Structure 1
Amino acid sequence: MRFGSMKLLPPIGLLCFAVYFYYLFFTLTPSQPLHLPEFVSTINQSSLSASTLPVMAVDEKLCDYSNGKWVRTKRGPLYNGSSCVKIFKNRNCLSNGRPDSGFLHWRWKPSECHLPRFDPNIFLQLISNKRVAFVGDSLSRNHLSSLLCMLSTVSKPKIVHHRGSHWWLFRSHNAILSFYWSPFLVEGDQRKIPGPHYNTVYLDRVNMRWARDIDQMDMIVLSFGHWFMVPSVFYEGGKVLGCMRHPVSNCTVNIGFGGPIRRALRTALNSIIERKIGKGNNGVDVIVRTYSPSHFEGSWDKGGTCSKTKPYAIGQRQLEGEDAQIRMIEMEEVENAKKRAKKLRGFRLEVLDVTKLALLRPDGHPGAYMNPFPFANGVPKVVQNDCVHWCLPGPVDTWSEVLVQMMKHMARVAKE
């Protein structure tokens, strides 16, 4: 979400902010609870050995899936708002009354290669006997919700309540998907209403909510960014490093968002290297998903909308400004981390670059249909819009299509 040069909001603005960010704290609705003791006894049993899996062909070279265009397709998504109970109500656009469904009939066509349709069975084969953790903000949860919906078409997961997270156990493949709410990746307190109107972020301290479980993770998907765009006070080494948009009068150094985002990602990646690899444990695959741009037409807190019904064509929208800067920082930090860890065995780090393909989909957000039937009683004076998250089903499903190709590639590299 791009907040522009936002100053302290007046009371009505604070109220809007509170309502909007209420949606960022929803947790995925568990459909079939499973108590932890039962889960532990189950996961300790190797219910599906690698030898029972069919042999899969893997790509010889990882394609650049980030460049391409959206093309029409007659095929619909693998799931819908009725078949998947894991969709947040405020992401279930069609069930909330969105009148057009054309946004569902586009597929991403990379410039260099073919991107296969998502195959839930292949994905489950790739994560057999593994634990995959999604770490980040509500867009990370948006992505995982989409993935769970697609996987549920072939295998129903069980929910496990774990400290600081939710785990989904796929008994059919002895695999776990999990989500850890960590919008900064490092330690921090989000702005609240009522309460401090700014974030407090400790850039050199990894968030232990997820980091304490690193030893149990075989694959980690990191993604963040949007929470760094609001007023914040940043700490490093126990001292105030600077601020974002001067949230407090005694913080005179405005350091913007670029430096803090870089430091936070570096701290997170270093923590994985030190905790997972430095102690001689098994290897780990790490995926850094790049920034997903928002599409507010106008200010997010002043009635901004996202009413387009088609993707942008090539050349209509360029990657620039804050979107380009955040993506560049993420790409650079991944390359730096690869250099730091190049002598370590079993550490594989790649970028899931979705920024460009997401940039071209202004039609894929809930918009006003984050709420059920917002115009049922006419057009209200104020219509709240969500131009940050993605409808389910929707363009976010494509992220997993790219992810599974990356996983196939990483599996081949691991065998070399």
Structure 2
Amino acid sequence: MRKNNAMGLWDMSNMIHCSFFIFFFGGLATLSFYRYNNQEAGFRIIKVTLTNSTTNAIANNTLTNTRVFDHETRLTIKPTSVRRTCDLFSGRWVHDNSSRYPLYKEHECPNLEDTFACQMYGRKDSKYLQWRWQPHGCDFPRFDGKSVVERLRGRRLLFVGDSLNRNQWMSMVCMLRSSIPGVKLEGGALNGILHTFRAIDYNISIDFYWAPMLVESNGDIPSDHHRENRFVRIKAIEEKARHWVDADVLIFNSYHWWRLPGVKLSKSVGSGSSLDDPNQEYEEMDSLRAYKLALRTWSKWAYSHVDTSKTKLFFMGATATHSRLGKNQGNCYGETEPVLDDDVFWESGTNLQMLNILESTLNKLKSNGVNVQLINVTQLTQCRKDGHTTVYRKYWRPLSELQKKNPEKAADCSHWCLPGVPDIWNELLLAYILR
């Protein structure tokens, strides 16, 4: 009996020692395999999981002597997932006089509007054409017109908004038209409200719909939208929105027209009644509150009518207006270089409260299951005081004698030359459309 107990204890002791050695050597083998096979994989993970806070810290770090995150190294980083790991809107402008920029020439785009054709109207400098946007710590696909056209076969892209969205729409048309063979049709409809560019052989439509405040307003007629008082029907959107629902990609904007002290909310309900009637009843409201209500109307429409499993939905962020560069510093007139101190520069005309309202509206829409992507071009346009049309454009109203003597007073510091800055917005937009 005692002998059997002793043998049992010996067997148990041997089992414990054997188990110890198995786990020990097995652990060493596993660790060795992991280290050998994941050295390169670990490096890739570091490269693609940079967060916004990390990239901002990298951008602002001037104390390090290492070149790990300098410009040359950053350009060689493999492009990362647009969806998860790369903030395309945090970065800096880099001068690039290679053949890549500009993406097209003015004379290559015969339908380029006179409003944006700066060189045609006398602009002599050209460095403003040679800047590209470089995100911190990552990259986005280089523009390839032929590849984009192939992937857009059978789709309708529709830009909806104000003249800044028309600026971007015209940029997209100019970027793609030389890469589209075959018959191309261009024209307007709905009394100039809808503009269409269509590639017949590829069944591609790139359209623009004039709706500067998204909801109905007395500025909805493009040829007659300059009014001292701005009247809107804050809940009326269905009549115009019926022209939007068949698009495969919808790109909205609305910001600049709301930068007023106040907006008049018409109490007339029917779309048939005129918003130009001086005797109409209205309620005056501060612009911030009215902007919030208008975006709420738009978001309710998007929730009810946009199936984001079939239609991609985007909203363009506010673009900078360099009407005042700073105290006693004038405006955008005569500027030929961007501000390179891009992490701290913020032009005075951008309303942060309005930006917060827009972001909050889009976040609520997302929380309700509507996938809408903000193309946040606000910061990257802050620095491009050199990219505006200024006086190099066609004026639809004769300049006054005072404006002729002081051209800076006539400078357009809202719209952008083409080719130019809006081409970058479209490169970023296409990165999301085609991801």
Deviations 1:99-133 (A, max 9, x none): 21111111111113113332222332332212111
Q: Distance in 2 between matches of 1:86 and 1:323?
A: 33
Contact 1:87/1:145 (CA < 8 Å) preserved in 2?
A: yes
Match of 2:428?
Answer: 402
Match of 2:324?
Answer: 297
Contact 1:214/1:276 (CA < 8 Å) preserved in 2?
A: no
Match of 1:204?
Answer: 235
| Code of the aligned partner of 2:413 | C
Match of 1:358?
Answer: 381
| Code of the aligned partner of 1:86 | N
Alignment of 1:241-256 (within 5 A): 255-256=285-286
Match of 1:188?
Answer: 217
Determine whether 1:224 maps to 2:248.
no
Determine whether 1:271 maps to 2:301.
yes
Distance 1:214-1:367 versus aligned 2 partners, 3 A rule? closer
Q: Distance in 2 between matches of 1:320 and 1:366?
A: 19
Select 2:185's aligned residue among 141, 154, 158: 158
Structure with a larger share of its residues in helix = 2
Match of 2:367?
Answer: 339
Partner secondary structure for residue 125 of structure 2: coil
Which of the pair has more CA radius of gyration? 2
Contact 2:345/2:383 (CA < 8 Å) preserved in 1?
A: yes
Q: Percent same amino acid among aligned pairs? A: 27
Q: Distance in 2 between matches of 1:146 and 1:135?
A: 14
Deviations 1:240-289 (A, max 9, x none): xxxxxxx99x9885x43222222212212221221244xxx973211000
Contact 2:158/2:249 (CA < 8 Å) preserved in 1?
A: yes
Q: Distance in 1 between matches of 2:224 and 2:300?
A: 33
The alpha carbon displacement at 1:97 in A equals: 1.3
| Code of the aligned partner of 2:297 | T
Contact 2:388/2:413 (CA < 8 Å) preserved in 1?
A: yes
The alpha carbon displacement at 1:139 in A equals: 0.5
Runs of 4+ deviating beyond 4 Å: 57-60, 191-196, 235-239, 250-253
Determine whether 1:168 maps to 2:197.
yes
Partner secondary structure for residue 107 of structure 1: strand
Contact 1:131/1:218 (CA < 8 Å) preserved in 2?
A: yes
Determine whether 1:179 maps to 2:208.
yes
Determine whether 1:381 maps to 2:410.
no
Deviations 1:67-90 (A, max 9, x none): 111011013212111111122213
Distance 1:237-1:204 versus aligned 2 partners, 3 A rule? farther
Contact 1:306/1:367 (CA < 8 Å) preserved in 2?
A: yes
Q: Distance in 1 between matches of 2:150 and 2:127?
A: 32
Q: Distance in 1 between matches of 2:226 and 2:82?
A: 51
Match of 1:149?
Answer: 174
Match of 1:7?
Answer: none
Match of 1:50?
Answer: none
Partner secondary structure for residue 151 of structure 1: helix
Q: Distance in 2 between matches of 1:90 and 1:126?
A: 30
Contact 1:182/1:207 (CA < 8 Å) preserved in 2?
A: no
Contact 2:324/2:349 (CA < 8 Å) preserved in 1?
A: no
The alpha carbon displacement at 1:360 in A equals: 1.1
TM-score, length basis structure 1: 0.71
Select 2:312's aligned residue among 271, 285, 303: 285
Distance 1:136-1:96 versus aligned 2 partners, 3 A rule? same
Partner secondary structure for residue 201 of structure 1: strand
Q: Distance in 1 between matches of 2:358 and 2:86?
A: 19
| Code of the aligned partner of 2:197 | W
Match of 1:234?
Answer: 265
Mark the runs of 5 or more structure 2 residues left unpaired by the alignment. Answer: 1-79, 271-277
The alpha carbon displacement at 1:62 in A equals: 5.7
| Code of the aligned partner of 1:402 | L
The alpha carbon displacement at 1:310 in A equals: 1.0
TM-score, length basis structure 2: 0.68
Q: Distance in 2 between matches of 1:194 and 1:178?
A: 20
Q: Distance in 2 between matches of 1:200 and 1:252?
A: 10
Select 2:417's aligned residue among 379, 391, 404: 391
Q: Which has the higher contact order (CA 8 A, sep 6+)?
A: 1
Distance 1:90-1:196 versus aligned 2 partners, 3 A rule? closer
| Code of the aligned partner of 2:377 | V
Match of 1:117?
Answer: 142
| Code of the aligned partner of 1:306 | Y
Higher alpha-carbon deviation: 315-324 or 152-161:
315-324
Match of 1:82?
Answer: 107
Contact 2:219/2:226 (CA < 8 Å) preserved in 1?
A: no
